[in-house]
Chains A and B, each alone.
Chain A
Amino acid sequence: MNCFEYRDAIAEFIEGTLDADGQRALERHVESCAACRALVADLKSIQAAAFTLDRHEPPTGVWERVRDRVAAEPRSDTRGRVLVWPRSRAAWGIWAAAAAALLITTVTGVYPLINERRHRTDLAAGSQPSGDVASIQAEFQAAEEHYDRAIQGLEQIARSQSGDLDPQVAAVLQKNLQVIDQAIGESRSALKMQPSSTDAQDSLFDAMRTKVAVLQQTVELINEMRKGNQAEAGRLIKGLNQ
């Protein structure tokens, strides 16, 4: 079998529905195939992210309002709709994970494009202000807002679930997030003083990207601690460090 033929097996493996023989065959293949190994790791991380986000339900009030509206609506066939309102917590989790993934992908994709455009504009127009420059500034602001939203979302997850982390590790992460926050603050202050400074802009986005990465690591770590025996182990580690 080639890599393409293993795709279904990988999907079943991630979903936990692959039989023992298939699993053994897949494991043998994955051991020797870096591409499939990367795919398995990627799917596992997405599944892990969905698992974490699964636990975030909208506030009770939202559910009540939705329920009331659904009850008030006349019954109709859902066939032909593109999206159906998720009914289960798991479905909410998948949508939330997809939204977070889209947000992070957008954020990590937006800045390089703007940066490339900025350099092209610099080369074409020298340092003269132009409509293009103004539009790039607007794109910068939009990118910054995207980063802010991604950071807020991840921070919310990390804060609400940080009880699953070893306190010492949580403290280390917190301390380093403060270091990054300081870098973000310094870059923003510099941008206020010199709005067109590319050094300040680059520095701000570097710091924000780093913060997204550290928060992602934090969420991944929380997931790790929650898996099976690890959850118990997290409490054990706490005892160990006391």
Chain B
Amino acid sequence: MHRFKLLLLIALTAVTLTAAIPARAASAPADHPRGVDPHARAAWLEHYQDSRRGPEQTERFTQSYKVGADSALDLQNLSGNVRVTAARGNEIRIEATKRVRHREADEAKRLLGELRIDVSQVGNRLEVRTIYPRMSGRGGLSASVDYVISVPANTAVALKTISGDVTVADVHGEVRAETTSGNVDVSATPNLASAKTISGNVTARSISAPATLTLGTVSGSVIASALKVRAIDAGTVSGNVQLTDVHVERVDAKSVSGDIEFDARLAQGGRYAFNSHSGNVRIVLSGAPGFELDASTFSGSIRSDFPVTMRSTADSSGRDRRGLNRAIRGTYGDASAILSVRSFSGNVVITKK
């Protein structure tokens, strides 16, 4: 009888835990403890920061610069978000907010004055640099500058920041957007040359141009949609690569541990390479022209919903001893596009939309 009670107790505990864990997972994100209002938590954290580093002191900077048709903006920042958008007219308008914290109010004010925005104009080229104050050695300083900049649509824009998000929209000149720790978001920028970060996501949307896009991150995902470009180079180490609704002739997409998803139509004569070490690769093709397929995996599996005519080589069956597909090499239709898909330990799926 005692043994029966013990079993019943274990069973009831298991049932209770099974029911409780998903409920908790659904109701509270992992970074917010259960029952805590995230807004209140954020307000407390803000207050905690204030007590440790002093209240935030801000100063606004607004300035406009006349430029010609072939204007260029080169901005280097250290900490803070940067947003650049296109506007009508022939001027570059900079609106910046300088932010400083220090435990001592007088010192904060002094540092705010020393935190400078240095703008130099040579012809139509504008260089913007944030000059940070020398530290007194007493520590406790935090300083950043957020930029909101509007430029004539054809301006060439080069942005580099260390910590902060970078956003560029509607700029038709060449765009280079880089940060180290933060997200990069570019949209409607037909001359995007590169969008890179180390820790953060890279998002590219609504771009139509005969260009090669280089989208790269180390820890984060590459997300691209509504693109009509010549080529995409997309790479990450631990994030995913997601390419949807893209019209592109050449793709080179890589991840080490993340998944790769390509949901688009192949171009005739196009070359597409997808490679993940341990992530899954999913290719969704709509109205595909024919393609030559070279798909392989070392320990995952492969499935193709297209009737591929296998090449007549010794390993054309592509199946291992357990009957799992490890390789598909062959052609479908007119074989006008080349599709190379590889995952070392993930699964590969090639399917129809």
Dominant secondary structure of chain A at its interface with chain B: helix
Contact present for B278 and A166 (CB under 8 Å): no
Question: A182 CA to B278 CA in the complex, in Å?
Answer: 10
Contact present for A183 and B257 (CB under 8 Å): yes
Contact present for A168 and B238 (CB under 8 Å): no
Q: Tell me, yes or no, whether A90 is within 8 Å of chain B by CB.
A: no
Q: Tell me, yes or no, whether A40 is within 8 Å of chain B by CB.
A: no
Contact present for A180 and B298 (CB under 8 Å): no
Contact present for A126 and B314 (CB under 8 Å): yes
Other-chain residue from A27, A199, A210 in contact with B122 (beta carbon distance below 8 A):
A27
Contact present for B70 and A31 (CB under 8 Å): yes
**Smallest CB–CB gap between B26 and chain A, Å?**
28
Contact present for B275 and A206 (CB under 8 Å): yes
Contact present for B219 and A200 (CB under 8 Å): no
Residue of A nearest to B181 (CB): A169
Question: A166 CA to B78 CA in the complex, in Å?
Answer: 11
Contact present for B162 and A166 (CB under 8 Å): yes
Interface residues of B in 311-335 (CB under 8 A from A): 313-315, 326-327
User: Which residues does chain B contribute within 8 Å of A237, judged by CB atoms?
Assistant: 78-79, 162-163
Contact present for B122 and A24 (CB under 8 Å): yes
Question: A197 CA to B327 CA in the complex, in Å?
Answer: 12
Question: A232 CA to B133 CA in the complex, in Å?
Answer: 9
Chain-B contact segment, one of A65-73, A103-111, A170-178: A170-178
If A186-B277, A235-B135 touch, does A240 touch B257 (CB 8 Å cutoff)?
Answer: no
Contact string against A for B residues 254-271, beta-carbon threshold 8 Å, 1 for contact and 0 otherwise: 101100000000000000
Question: A187 CA to B237 CA in the complex, in Å?
Answer: 16
Contact present for A172 and B219 (CB under 8 Å): yes
Other-chain residue from A169, A199, A200 in contact with B180 (beta carbon distance below 8 A):
A169
User: Which residues does chain A contribute within 8 Å of B198, judged by CB atoms?
Assistant: 169, 172-173, 217, 221
Contact present for A203 and B298 (CB under 8 Å): yes
Contact string against A for B residues 237-249, beta-carbon threshold 8 Å, 1 for contact and 0 otherwise: 1100000000000
**Smallest CB–CB gap between A171 and chain B, Å?**
9
Interface residues of B in 173-218 (CB under 8 A from A): 180-181, 198-199, 218
Contact present for A183 and B199 (CB under 8 Å): no
Q: Tell me, yes or no, whether A230 is within 8 Å of chain B by CB.
A: yes
Q: Tell me, yes or no, whether A179 is within 8 Å of chain B by CB.
A: yes
User: For the side of the interface on A, what is the size category?
Assistant: 35 or more
Interface size on B, residues (CB 8 A): 47
Other-chain residue from B125, B131, B256, B314 in contact with A207 (beta carbon distance below 8 A):
B256
Residue of A nearest to B326 (CB): A199
Question: A202 CA to B278 CA in the complex, in Å?
Answer: 13
> Apart from A31-B72, A199-B297, A236-B78, what are 18 other A-B pairs with CB-CB below 8 Å?
A24-B123, A31-B156, A166-B162, A169-B180, A169-B198, A175-B238, A176-B219, A179-B238, A180-B237, A180-B256, A186-B344, A233-B132, A235-B135, A236-B143, A237-B78, A239-B141, A239-B142, A240-B79
A residues touching B (Cβ–Cβ < 8 Å)? 24, 27-28, 31-32, 126-127, 166, 168-169, 172-173, 175-176, 179-180, 182-183, 186-187, 190, 197-200, 202-203, 206-207, 210, 214, 217, 221, 224-225, 229-230, 232-233, 235-237, 239-240
29 pairs, A vs B, C-beta closer than 8 Å = A24-B122, A27-B125, A28-B123, A31-B72, A126-B313, A127-B314, A166-B180, A169-B199, A172-B219, A173-B198, A176-B256, A179-B257, A180-B237, A183-B278, A183-B344, A186-B277, A187-B277, A197-B298, A199-B327, A207-B277, A210-B237, A224-B162, A233-B78, A233-B162, A236-B79, A236-B142, A239-B142, A240-B79, A240-B141
B residues touching A (Cβ–Cβ < 8 Å)? 70, 72, 78-79, 122-123, 125, 131-132, 134-135, 139-144, 156, 162-163, 180-181, 198-199, 218-219, 235, 237-238, 254, 256-257, 275, 277-278, 296-299, 313-315, 326-327, 342, 344-345
Report, nearest first, the 6 A-B pairs whose CB atoms are least far apart. A203-B344, A199-B298, A183-B277, A240-B142, A176-B237, A172-B199
